[in-house]
Every structure is written in structure tokens, then in C-alpha cells.
Amino acid sequence: MIREPDEIDISILDRIAKHPGISISEVITPLLHLRSESVLRGRVRQLAILGQITMARTKHKILLHRKPGSEVKKDV
């Protein structure tokens, strides 16, 4: 089941948009006080599955980029 993006998802997407090519560990480090590392890595994978971001594997890291035109709807 697909859920609505929450503040964690939006924060992850904002960091990726501000820093294209950022690694997974760099994205999730500021959020570790909210959730565990495994949960946050799962959130990143889910965003990739949903088509919000792309994951490019290098020799030692996985780099994240926002997909063009993938905007998150925020409830006002």
C-alpha cells in the first residue's frame, strides 16, 4: 500500500534536491534521531521504487538524484 509522504520523506527529497549526487548515508544522517538507520534506508529505497529518485551505483557508494518532474504534494 502506498502511503502519503510524511515529514521524513519530504526531508529526504529536499536534501537530495539541494545536493544532487549525495550518498544514502549523507541523506539519512541528520534523521537518525527520528528513526533507525534500517528504516531510513528503507524509506530511500521506497522513494526509488515510487520513481521519486534515482539511485546510481558507484564502486563504493550509491548516489541519489531527484527525477525531473517528481514533485511531492504538500497538504496546506
Residue carrying the nine cell digits 530511500: 44
What DSSP state is assigned to residue 71?
P
Residue 43: which region, alpha, beta or left (left: phi > 0; alpha: psi -120 to 50)? alpha
Question: Per-residue confidence at 27, pLDDT binned at 50, 70, 90?
Answer: very high
pLDDT above 90 coverage of the chain, percent: 79
**Domain architecture of the chain: domains with CATH:** 7-66 (1.10.10.10)
What pLDDT shows up at residue 76? Answer: 43
